[in-house]
C-alpha cells in the first residue's frame, strides 16, 4: 500500500473531504500545513504522506487497499491449542478462522489509517458492508456482514483465550434431520446409499423413481406420513451424502481408488532399514512416451535407506531386463542384502531366481495385487514419469484422457491421415531415452530434498553413510548375467557334443551323459560357458566350429585327442588297480573271505526240535537202511588156527603200505574233502596224506571241483605234523 502521493494523485483518488483538483489539494495542504518532501521521480515537485490526510480520507483509502487474506500464524496457533478446538466441526472452524481474519484486518486498518479502534471499527464495518474491503473469498463466505458491536464481542472472546466461542456451526441444528435422512427410520437413506454403491452414475431422478418403487408414494417421517419429496430434495440429499460418505462410497464402488487414496498406510514401516543396500525394491512400468521403435518399459530400483534410484529402459519386460537393471545397480551401489519385488513373471522367472541365489541376495515377494507393499518404488516410478518423462518429445500421457488432451493440440483436420508418431512429435531412440534418464537422475533427482529423508537429498544420504559396501568383480558379474540357453540352460553332453539351438558345441572336458548348465557368450555366439547344473562350479568352455570360424575336422580331431587324454588321466589309477587284481587272489576268494568273517560273528540259538514222520517216510527209511548177512559162527579151534597162520605169513618188523585201486576224479575230490575236514577238526594227518593233499590242491582238478561245488570249510590245507615212529 502506497504511503506518499503528489497533489495530482491525491485529487485523483476521490477520497472524502479531499478536493477533486490538484490546485485545491495544494491550497488545502498549505492551509493545514501538511508535511511534504521533494519528489525523487522524474518531473520533480512535492509529495505528501498518507498520514497528513484527514481521518475520513485515510480510512477510505486504507479500506480500499486492505488485504485480509489470511489469519496471522500466531493467532492460528493460539486458537488450535484450545482443547475445545478438537471437538469443533470443520464448518465451525471455518467460521472461527473467518472471524479471526476480520479482527486481524481491523487491527491492520486502524494502524494503517492512524485512527483509534472505535473509529476504525465503525469505518471498517461500513466499508465491509459496502464491499469496499478486499478480503479472501473464504472469509467473505464465512462472514457475510459485521457490526462494531460484533467486533467488540469477538475481540473480547479472543482476549479471554476462548476463540472456540467464535466457532459457530449454523447448520448443526438441522444437520442429519432432513426428510430423507430420517424417513422410514433411516431405511430410505440406507437404500439410497446402496443404490449409489451399486451404480455411482444414478441421477437423483433415477434414485427418486427407485425409492418410490421400493417404499411407495409416501414416507413416514417422525410419526407423520408425507408424500415422496420432490426431485430437488433428492438432489440436495445425494449431493451431501456423496460428500459426507465419500470414503465409504469409494470403498464400495472403487476398491483400488480407496486403497490408493484412503486406506491407512501409516509411516515408519521401513524403520528397520538402517544402512544402504539393506533393502532394495524394483518394479517396471511402461514409459509414458513413444520412441522411434515404439513404446518401451522402464525398470526402476530404489535403495530404501538412501532413496537413490536407477532406471533401465527395455523394449519388453523380461527377466533379462531385471538382470541388466541389477547389473547397473550393483556396479553403482554394491550388492544388496535383500530385494523386494512383486509376482510379475519377469521377477519370479527361473533366471532371476538363479541370479539372486548366485550373488547371495535374499528375494522377498510382495503379495499379489498389493502394490502398497512396495509403495516406495511405485512412488519413485511416478516421480520418474511426472518429473522426467513429461519433458520429453513423444510424451503420450499417463491415461487415455491425457493422450486425448495432447492430441487435441491439433485440429481433427490436421491430424487426419497423420502418423501418430508425427502427431506426438516422436524423436528419441531407446538409447537416447536411457541417456537422458541417467542424466536426469544424476543431476535432478539425486540432489532434490526428499521428504522421506527429512529434507536430505539422496546424494547426501548416500555420502553420509559409513557402512561398508559389498562389491563384486565386473567380469564375474557379467558371467553370471550371460544369457542361458533354452530349457533353463540345462543340457546333457553326448558323443557329438552339446546341442544348442541346432548347433553342436565341442566340450571334450565334459564326458558324455553329463548334465551341464550353459551360458552363452554375448560377444561370441560360437562360444559357450559350462557350469554344473546348480551353476556354481565352472566346467570350462564349449566351442562350435561352424560359428567360431574353425575347421570342423581339425576341431573334432583336437577334441578327440583331448578327450582321450582326459579319460586316460582319469582311468590311470583304475587300470593299475585292475592289473593288480588280475595277479592277486581270485575275486571269489575275496568275497568268500569277507562273507565268512561276517558269518563267523553270528550265533544261531538252539531251537526246539520234534520228529516228523508219515507212513511213507517210515517205509522209505526202512528201505534205505542197509541190511548185512549174519556172520557165521566159528569154533574156538578155527579162530586160533587163523590167527597162527596170519602171524607166520607176516615178516617180523616189515612195513606194509596198502595198495589202492585207481581212483576216479570225484573220488580224489571226496578224498581231499575228507582230509580237509579232518584238518578242520584238529586231527593230525600222516605225512603221505599231507603230501598228497598239498599236491592235489595245486592242480586244476581240485580248483575246478572247488569252483563247481564250493568249499564247505574255508580252511586252507596246512602242513600236518608228522607222527613219530
Q: Higher confidence at residue 614 or residue 336?
A: 336
Q: Higher confidence at residue 719 or residue 620?
A: 620
What mean pLDDT value characterizes the chain?
A: 80
> Please, what is the Cα angle at 554 between 548 and 555, to 5 degrees?
45
Which of 439, 443, 440, 431 shows the shortest CA–CA distance to 296?
A: 431
Report which listed range, 96-110, 664-678, 706-720, is most confident. 664-678
Under CATH, which number does the domain 487-566 receive?
A: 2.30.30
What distance in Å separates the CA atoms of residue 11 and residue 27, rounded to the nearest whole number? Answer: 12
Residue 528 in contact with residue 485, Cβ under 8 Å?
Answer: yes
Which of 99, 98, 126, 110 shows the shortest CA–CA distance to 66?
A: 110
Which of 150, 124, 120 shows the shortest CA–CA distance to 135?
A: 124
DSSP state of 602: -
Within 8 A by CB and 6+ apart from 218, the residues are: 225, 226, 227, 228
Q: Please say whether the dihedral angle defined by the alpha carbons of residues 345, 348, 354 and 355, taken in this order, is positive or negative.
A: positive
Furthest CA-CA distance within the chain: 205
Domain regions of the chain by residue span: 4-53, 67-166, 179-261, 280-392+428-464, 487-566, 663-725
The dihedrals phi and psi of 99, each to the nearest 5 degrees, come to -70, -35
What distance in Å separates the CA atoms of residue 670 and residue 672, rounded to the nearest whole number? Answer: 5
User: Looking up cell 586316460, which residue turns up?
Assistant: 568
Q: Which CATH number fits domain 280-392+428-464: 3.30.70.2740, 3.30.750.24, 3.30.420.10, 3.90.550.10?
A: 3.30.420.10
How large is the angle between the packed helices 231-244 and 187-198, nearest 10 degrees?
Answer: 70
Tens-digit pLDDT profile for residues 511-561:
899 999 888 876 778 888 888 888 778 888 899 988 888 888 888 888 888
The dihedrals phi and psi of 329, each to the nearest 5 degrees, come to -70, -40
Fold match between domain 4-53 and domain 280-392+428-464: no
Residue 337: all three cell numbers together: 542384502
CB atoms within 10 A of CB 133: 25
Within 8 A by CB and 6+ apart from 530, the residues are: 498, 507, 510, 516, 517, 518, 538, 539, 540, 541, 542
> 3-class SS at 433?
helix
Lowest mean pLDDT among 72-86, 96-110, 246-260, 548-562: 72-86
Tens-digit pLDDT profile for residues 318-365:
888 999 999 999 999 999 999 999 999 999 988 899 889 889 999 999
Tens-digit pLDDT profile for residues 158-185:
888 777 777 766 655 555 678 898 899 8
Q: Which CATH number fits domain 4-53: 1.20.120.450, 1.10.10.10, 1.20.1050.10, 2.30.30.110?
A: 1.10.10.10
- Work out the percent of the chain whose per-residue pLDDT is above 70: 78
User: DSSP assignment of 474-530, as one string?
Assistant: HHHHHHHHSPBPTGGGEEE-BTTBEEETTEEEB-TTS-TT-EEEEEEETTEEEEEEE
Mean pLDDT over 447-470 rounds to 93
Amino acid at each position: 500500500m502506497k504511503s506518499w502521493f503528489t497533489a495530482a494523485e491525491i485529487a485523483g483518488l476521490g477520497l472524502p473531504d479531499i478536493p477533486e483538483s490538484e490546485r485545491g489539494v495544494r491550497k488545502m495542504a498549505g492551509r493545514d500545513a501538511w508535511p511534504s518532501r521533494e519528489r525523487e521521480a522524474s518531473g520533480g515537485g512535492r509529495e505528501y504522506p498518507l498520514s497528513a490526510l484527514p481521518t475520513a480520507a485515510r480510512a477510505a483509502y486504507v479500506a480500499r487497499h486492505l488485504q485480509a487474506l489470511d489469519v496471522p500464524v500466531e493467532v492460528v496457533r493460539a486458537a488450535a491449542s484450545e482443547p475445545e478446538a478438537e471437538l469443533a466441526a470443520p464448518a465451525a472452524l471455518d467460521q472461527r478462522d473467518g472471524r479471526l481474519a476480520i479482527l486481524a484486518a481491523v487491527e491492520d486498518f486502524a494502524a494503517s489509517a492512524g485512527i483509534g479502534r472505535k473509529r476504525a471499527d465503525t469505518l471498517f464495518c461500513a466499508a465491509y458492508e459496502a464491499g469496499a474491503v478486499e478480503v479472501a473469498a473464504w472469509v467473505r463466505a464465512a462472514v457475510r456482514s459485521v457490526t462494531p458491536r460484533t467486533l467488540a464481542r469477538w475481540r473480547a472472546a479472543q482476549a479471554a483465550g476462548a476463540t472456540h466461542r467464535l466457532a459457530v456451526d449454523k447448520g448443526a441444528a438441522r444437520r442429519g434431520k432432513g426428510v430423507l435422512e430420517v424417513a422410514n427410520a433411516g431405511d430410505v437413506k440406507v437404500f439410497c446409499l446402496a443404490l449409489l454403491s451399486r451404480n455411482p452414475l444414478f441421477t437423483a431422478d433415477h434414485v427418486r423413481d427407485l425409492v418410490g418403487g421400493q417404499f411407495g408414494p409416501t414416507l413416514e417421517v417422525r410419526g407423520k406420513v408425507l408424500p415422496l419429496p420432490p426431485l430437488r430434495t433428492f438432489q440436495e440429499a445425494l449431493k451431501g451424502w456423496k460428500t459426507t460418505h465419500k470414503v465409504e462410497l469409494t470403498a464400495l464402488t472403487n476398491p483400488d481408488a480407496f486403497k490408493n487414496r484412503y486406506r491407512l498406510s501409516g509411516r515408519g514401516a521401513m524403520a528397520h532399514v538402517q544402512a544402504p543396500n539393506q533393502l532394495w525394491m524394483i518394479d517396471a512400468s511402461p514409459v509414458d512416451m513413444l520412441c522411434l521403435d515404439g513404446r518401451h518399459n522402464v525398470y526402476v530400483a530404489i535403495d530404501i535407506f538412501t532413496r537413490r534410484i536407477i532406471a533401465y529402459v527395455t523394449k519388453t519386460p523380461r527377466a533379462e531386463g531385471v538382470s541388466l537393471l541389477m547389473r547397473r545397480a550393483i556396479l553403482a551401489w554394491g550388492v544388496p542384502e535383500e530385494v523386494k519385488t512383486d509376482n510379475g513373471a519377469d521377477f519370479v522367472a527361473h533366471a532371476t531366481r538363479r541370479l539372486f541365489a548366485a550373488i547371495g541376495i535374499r528375494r522377498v515377494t510382495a503379495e499379489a495385487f498389493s502394490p502398497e507393499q512396495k509403495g516406495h518404488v511405485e512412488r519413485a516410478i511416478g516421480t520418474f514419469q511426472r518429473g522426467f518423462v513429461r519433458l520429453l518429445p513423444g510424451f503420450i500421457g499417463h491415461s487415455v484422457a491425457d493422450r486425448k488432451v495432447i492430441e487435441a493440440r491439433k485440429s481433427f483436420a490436421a491430424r487426419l491421415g497423420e502418423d501418430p508418431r508425427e502427431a506426438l512429435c516422436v524423436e528419441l531412440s531407446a538409447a537416447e531415452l536411457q541417456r537422458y534418464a541417467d542424466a536426469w537422475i544424476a543431476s535432478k533427482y539425486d540432489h532434490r530434498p526428499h521428504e522421506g529423508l527429512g529434507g536430505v537429498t539422496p546424494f547426501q544420504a548416500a555420502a553420509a553413510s559409513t557402512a561398508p559396501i559389498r562389491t563384486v568383480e565386473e567380469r564375474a558379474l557379467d558371467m553370471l548375467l550371460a544369457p542361458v540357453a533354452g530349457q533353463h540352460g540345462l543340457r546333457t553332453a553326448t558323443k557329438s557334443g552339446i546341442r544348442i539351438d541346432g548347433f553342436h558345441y565341442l566340450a571334450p572336458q565334459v564326458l558324455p551323459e553329463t548334465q551341464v548348465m550353459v551360458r552363452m557368450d554375448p560377444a561370441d555366439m560360437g562360444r559357450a560357458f559350462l557350469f554344473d547344473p546348480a551353476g556354481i562350479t565352472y566346467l570350462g568352455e564349449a566351442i562350435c566350429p561352424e560359428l567360431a570360424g574353425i575347421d570342423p575336422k581339425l576341431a573334432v580331431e583336437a577334441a578327440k585327442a583331448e578327450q582321450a587324454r582326459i579319460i586316460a588321466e582319469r582311468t590311470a589309477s583304475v587300470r593299475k588297480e585292475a592289473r593288480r587284481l588280475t595277479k592277486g587272489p581270485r575275486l571269489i576268494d575275496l568275497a568268500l573271505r569277507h562273507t565268512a568273517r561276517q558269518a563267523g560273528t553270528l550265533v544261531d540259538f538252539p531251537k526246539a526240535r520234534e520228529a516228523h514222520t508219515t507212513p511213507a517216510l517210515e517205509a522209505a527209511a526202512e528201505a534205505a537202511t542197509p541190511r548185512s548177512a549174519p556172520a557165521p559162527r566159528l569154533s574156538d579151534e578155527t579162530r586160533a588156527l587163523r590167527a597162527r597162520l596170519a602171524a607166520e605169513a607176516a615178516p617180523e618188523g616189515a612195513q606194509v603200505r596198502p595198495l589202492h585201486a585207481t581212483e576216479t576224479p570225484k573220488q580224489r575230490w571226496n578224498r581231499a574233502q575228507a582230509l580237509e575236514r579232518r584238518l578242520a577238526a584238529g586231527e593230525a594227518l600222516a605225512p603221505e596224506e599231507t603230501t598228497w593233499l598239498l599236491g592235489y590242491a595245486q592242480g586244476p582238478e581240485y580248483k575246478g571241483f572247488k569252483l563247481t561245488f564250493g568249499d564247505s570249510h574255508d580252511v586252507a590245507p596246512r602242513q600236518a605234523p608228522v607222527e613219530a615212529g
